[in-house]
Structure 1
Amino acid sequence: MSAQSTITYDNEFVQVGDSAIAGWRVDMPEGKRLPTLSGNCPHCQHDCDYPVPEEVLQGGTKSAGGNERPPQLTRLVTCNCRAGHNRPGGVMLGCGRYWLALLTKNGASYDLSVQRDLGMLPAAEALADAQATQNARVHGAAEKWIGGISAVYSLFSLAGVATAKNALDGLSSGQRWLVAAAMLAGVAAAGTALFLGYLAAYGWVRMVAVGDDEKLRLWHTDEGAYAARAARQLSWAIYAAFGSLAAITIMMMLVWFLPRAP
């Protein structure tokens, strides 16, 4: 085992010079706006690959707006080598050290250097932490929202006023259809909210084949897209829940205020 392999894991910032990353590559994957950085960790010297993140979840906001490649950006690069470093439980990769990278646009690619402005460190650390925890955050939010959707369903007890005996007496056939339409819209919206909230929290439960490398890559890609997909589903679940509430309110107002035949 090499001496570098015996370095004990420690989550800490290290200041490095440009010479320490002189061998790093900047590759532009097809279809991506930002590059992947590859090279030896400046601290443990083991191979690392770092896809530069384009967006982070904060209600789905992008970390760098637009479709154009930004002229300059700072990212925190954390060692994610696969060598042994006496890592604590739950940590699967790296020696824990991280450094600040500065990417400067150069034609269709980027030049890589060390970011010497340490004022960018807190923001870069916050972005890295948000990236690392976004799957758990959106999963937790979706699980909690299922309870909120269940509360919306409890509002349907109010709909008893529309189905109680004599509640629709005196209404014409067309007026009754209006009440029914509002009721059905509320039920459909509440069902949609529950369905999308469940998908956001748990996904569509199924067995997925990973019997060969291509299937394994497809599964891993889909797992990586979970947070963005779940955030969209959760957003639509929230819209649907409020739509259900609006439909129930409209139904109640129709029952109360539609003119009735004497």
Structure 2
Amino acid sequence: MATKSWKEGPVKLRAGSLASWQGQERPGVLTLSGKCPRCSADLAIQIRPSTVIVTAAASGEAAFDAVAYFQCTCEEDHAGRPETKVKGCGAYWVAQPRKNEHNDRYHLDISAQPELNDAAKLIAEESQATGSGLRTLAEKWIPGVGAIVGILGLAGIVVSDDSVAGLSWSVRLVAFSLVTLAVLMAAGATILVYRAAFGWPKEVPLRSNDDVLAAAEMINTRTSQIARNVRFGVGLSSAALAALLAALGVLWLQPDSDRPIAVTYDDGGKEMSLCGEAARVEDGQLQLKVTDGPRTTTEPIDMASVTKLEQKSEC
């Protein structure tokens, strides 16, 4: 018997079109078997209570109370079938699985709600696209992870040992807090921007017709979520840059306490001058570390006798 030519499109279902379809439920999957309502080929199609799409939602318990999208997957030779299509006659339809009252098997009822039919078709197409693109999606995240590692490297330069040497504990704490905040914001910005560009695969429930409509609505409103992610991502990256600049300012613009000072003081009516590193002030005396060749001594100077203090680049 000659087979029908390939033709992609929805099947016009009539009473009895799905009478041959019967199904058996197993944990996590409903397997339905019957004849294609267009080409009459024998088909076996599995339905699951959730699917993976690039959007946000959560999965739930297994149930099969939602309309489902069916597509002919026969291996008959249909004239005119594109080379990119290896199976089927091109027919697809949306139907409602129903459990039989007298046993645990299922049958199919025609779905006459256009909104539900469109939602089921949209989810099926999105699920197929997500499934084929998950590996590519994972590969695109590799440079994203590299970007986060690069941010950590930049932060490490800012707070390296050389940068914080000689600084007080309070200054180090402020710099560390700013760098930590910058790293967290930069990582968040990277994740948001990559999520906007490439999506975030999540499992969505399809337990009921309301779930089907909700999942379709998430797909349709994804553009606004992408725009929000981009805005927040750019804002966080700008804030991260500002925090890093603030950390640099704290480190680089602090007075250098290690620079030597020249002290001029009165010693019994005679003006004296010493140059060295201020160690501490104790009991009204400035303890000045003075280096003379290989020798370093600590010279006490009465603060009341000091007439001039001047910071020097070197003694």
**Into which bin does the TM-score normalised by the smaller protein fall?**
0.5 to 0.7
If the length of structure 1 is used for normalisation, what is the TM-score? 0.59
- What do residues 130-173 of structure 1 show as CA deviations (whole Å, max 9, x unaligned)? 1211123433433333222222233222321222524233467x
1:126 aligns with 2:122: yes
1:19 aligns with 2:12: no
Answer yes or no: is the 8 Å Cα contact 1:101–1:112 preserved in 2. Answer: yes
The answer to whether 1:3 aligns with 2:2 is yes
Residue 132 of structure 1 aligns to which amino acid in structure 2? Q
Indicate conservation of the 8 Å contact 2:98/2:106, yes or no.
yes
- Helix, strand or coil: the match of 2:52? coil
Q: For residues 36 and 138 of structure 1, do their structure 2 counterparts lie closer, same or farther at Cα, with a shift above 3 Å needed?
A: same
Q: Confirm whether residue 160 of structure 1 aligns to residue 154 of structure 2.
A: no
In structure 2, the partner of 1:50 is: 45
The residue number in structure 2 matching 1:215 is: none
Tell me, yes or no, if the aligned pair for 1:168 and 1:255 is still in contact at 8 Å.
no
Which of 20, 29, 32 is the equivalent residue of 1:37?
32
Deviation (angstroms), 1:43: 0.9
Equivalent pair of 1:103/1:112 in contact (CA under 8 Å): yes
Q: Paired residue for 1:146?
A: 142
Which structure shows the higher strand fraction? 2
1:98 to 92, 102, 105: 92
CA 1:93–1:147: 2 relative to 1, 3 Å = same
Q: In 2, distance between residues paired with 1:257 and 1:42?
A: 74
The aligned amino acid for 1:73 is A
TM-score in terms of structure 2 length: 0.50
Relative to structure 1, is the Cα distance of residues 8 and 25 closer, same or farther in structure 2, using a 3 angstrom cutoff?
Answer: same
Determine helix, strand or coil for the equivalent of 1:39: strand
Counterpart residue identity of residue 45, structure 1: S
Q: 1:83 to 1:171 in 2, by over 3 A?
A: farther
Task: Give the match for residue 285 of structure 2.
Answer: none
How much does 1:95 deviate?
0.8
Q: How many residue pairs were aligned? A: 206
The answer on whether the counterparts of 1:159 and 1:252 sit within 8 Å (CA) in structure 2 is: no
% identical equivalent positions? 22
On the 8 A contact 2:94/2:117 being kept in 1, the answer is yes
Post-superposition CA distance 1:65-99 (Å, at most 9, x none): 531525x3211211011122242122221111011
CA contact 1:80–1:94 (8 Å) conserved in 2: yes
Match runs of 1:1-262 below 5 Å: 2-4=1-3, 7-29=4-26, 31-32=27-28, 34-53=29-48, 54-59=50-55, 61=57, 66-67=60-61, 69-70=63-64, 72-86=65-79, 87-106=81-100, 108-155=104-151, 156-163=153-160, 165-170=162-167
CA-CA distance at 1:12 after TM superposition: 0.4
When residues 135 and 68 of structure 1 are mapped into structure 2, their CA distance, relative to the original with a 3 A threshold, is: closer
Say whether the 8 Å CA contact 1:35–1:109 is kept in structure 2. no
Alpha carbons of structure 1 residues 169 and 252: separation in structure 2 relative to 1, 3 Å: farther
Which amino acid in structure 2 is aligned with residue 120 of structure 1? L
How far is the alpha carbon of 1:252 from its aligned partner? 9.6
Matches of 2:100 and 2:57 in 1, distance apart? Answer: 26
Tell me what 1:235 maps to: none
- The whole-number CA distance in structure 1 between the counterparts of 2:158 and 2:248 is 8
- Match of 2:313? none
Higher-Rg member (1/2): 2
Unpaired segments of 5 or more residues in structure 1?
Answer: 202-226, 230-244
How many Å apart are 1:253 and its aligned residue? Answer: 8.6
1:73–1:104 Cα contact (<8 Å) kept:
no
Structural RMSD (CA): 4.5
